[in-house]
Amino acid sequence: MNGIADFFIIVFILLGAFLSLVAAYGVIRLPDVYTRNHAASKAATLGVMSVLLGSLIFFYVKDGYFNSRVLLGIVFIFMTSPVAGHLISRAAYNSGVKLWGQSVQDDLKSAPHMKKTASKDH
């Protein structure tokens, strides 16, 4: 029983650390704000969540102590990080950050409610 728990703890924490590393790597490597936001808002979420899950299982198996605050932290991160990603990219778009040069399509530029702010720039 303890061996199985140890295995899961190790897997969760290493996976979380790896995903956070990949998120950081993606922020350095990707070309513009929006694609960087993809990496940061997805990989970092699952990374932090699995590190927290690993520590929750660790303290439950080792001390028999079920820390509900860690569980609430997991739920909180899961709820807030997609919204944070959305808000950052929306603020970037509204303040006029350009998409990457090789972007294919931009429907938002011709959207009806964006017309006013777009014409102000020219």
Partner 1 sequence: MAFQILLNMFLGFMWMFLTVTYEPVAFLKGYLFGLLIIFVFRRFFESRFYLLRVIAVINLLFIFIRELILSNIAVLKVLLRPKIEVRPGIFAYTTVLKEDWQITVLSSLITLTPGTLVIDVSPDNKVLYVHAMDIEDAKESIKSIKDTFEKAILEVSR
30's tokens: 């990707």
Shortest distance, position 2 Cβ to partner 1, whole Å = 26
Amino acid occupying residue 100 = W
Rounded Cα–Cα distance for residues 70 and 74 (Å): 6
Instruction: Decide if residue 41 touches partner 1 (CB under 8 A).
Output: yes
42's tokens: 């997805």
Instruction: Decide if residue 38 touches partner 1 (CB under 8 A).
Output: yes
User: From the list 62, 72, 86, 118, which residue makes contact with partner 1 (rule: CB under 8 A)?
Assistant: 86
Nearer of residues 22 and 61 to partner 1, judged by Cβ = 22
Shortest distance, position 50 Cβ to partner 1, whole Å = 10
C-alpha 15 chain-centroid distance? 15
Q: For 65, phi and psi rounded to 5 degrees? A: -115, 115
Nearer of residues 36 and 62 to partner 1, judged by Cβ = 36
Amino acid occupying residue 115 = K
Distances (CA, A) of 76 to 41, 48, 118: 14, 11, 36
Shortest distance, position 9 Cβ to partner 1, whole Å = 19
| Footprint on this chain of partner 1 (rule: CB under 8 A) | 19, 22, 25-26, 29-32, 34-35, 37-39, 41-43, 45-46, 78-79, 82-83, 85-86, 89-90, 93, 99-100, 102-109, 111-114
